[in-house]
Amino acid sequence: MSLSIAASTQSLSADKVFDLLQRVRERGPKVHAITNAVAQTFTANVLLAIGAVPSMTVSADEVAGFAASADALLVNLGTLDEERRKAIPLAIAAAREAGRPVGIDPVFVNRSPSRCGFARELLASGADLVRLNEAELNALFPDKADIDTLISAGTVFAVTGAEDRIESSGEDFRLLNGHPLMARVTATGCAGGAVLSAFASVEEDRALAAACGLSVFNIAGEMAAEQAQGPGSLVPELLDALYAMTSRDIAIRLKTA
């Protein structure tokens, strides 16, 4: 199953992408990331590189307060241990009560029926943005009517792959940036999901925020890959590219379908 892309899809403006990046840099949004153990350090450094402020606690005693006082919440299911299972519903409830955007990254739901069921429960409770790949999409939504219902209710889906697709009840986007070397570094996709949450905190149009955030992250990946010798040197180059990205970098490199 693949999501349909509206015939009215328009090219994404490089000026708009840079405008949202600048808003993140200027406002320094707080992003609370309940992410997996493998991704925590890299995700925090990526958020810092774009100008956001990360927090990472998964303690059930603290997580509601962190989520409510953040500007956005990211929930990543990559290592779904018992502590995270308890913390995630508390964080989502607090974020929604505070009016903060909630992003969900249902990592590997195609590998675990239990995790897939938990992710469906989370989506039913409300999510502004869902980042996932095609296999995860198909596992979560064997019946396409279910995803249509969520989209109609306002959830935006960012489906990543060789061509990234942003699907929403409004405008849709197809994006072509990125580099194969990014897939050779663990937690790259997870960190990218945090970037989308940061962008959603400064832009009410969640589809536009997702398209801009994904473009910035993937353009940084291209820039980093040109300087790196391999996966080991990609990470510092990626952080530097996010930190130093200019409007010209985006204008030269932005690719849409």
pLDDT of residue 10: 58
Q: What is the mean pLDDT of residues 109-132?
A: 96
The confidence band for 140, taking pLDDT boundaries of 50, 70 and 90, is very high
Q: What is the mean pLDDT of residues 43-49?
A: 98
Percent of the chain with pLDDT over 90: 93
**Domain boundaries, position 61:** 14-158+166-253
- Number of domains observed in the structure of the chain: 1
pLDDT at 199 over 90: yes
Predicted TM-score (pTM) of the model is: 0.94
In a domain, 7, yes or no: no
The confidence band for 126, taking pLDDT boundaries of 50, 70 and 90, is confident
The secondary structure of the chain, three-state, reads CCCCCCCCCCCCCHHHHHHHHHHHHHHCCEEEEECCCCCHHHHHHHHHHHCCEEECCCCCCCHHHHHHHCCEEEEECCCCCHHHHHHHHHHHHHHHHCCCCEEEECCCCCCCHHHHHHHHHHHHHCCCEEEEEHHHHHHHCCCHHHHHHHHHCCCEEEEECCCEEEECCCCCEEECCCCHHHHHCCCHHHHHHHHHHHHHCCCCCHHHHHHHHHHHHHHHHHHHHHHCCCHHHHHHHHHHHHHHCCHHHHHHHCCEC
In a domain, 9, yes or no: no
pLDDT of residue 50: 98
Q: What is the mean pLDDT of residues 221-233?
A: 98
Residue 201: CATH number of its domain: 3.40.1190.20
Mean pLDDT in the chain? Answer: 94
In a domain, 183, yes or no: yes
In a domain, 241, yes or no: yes
In a domain, 63, yes or no: yes
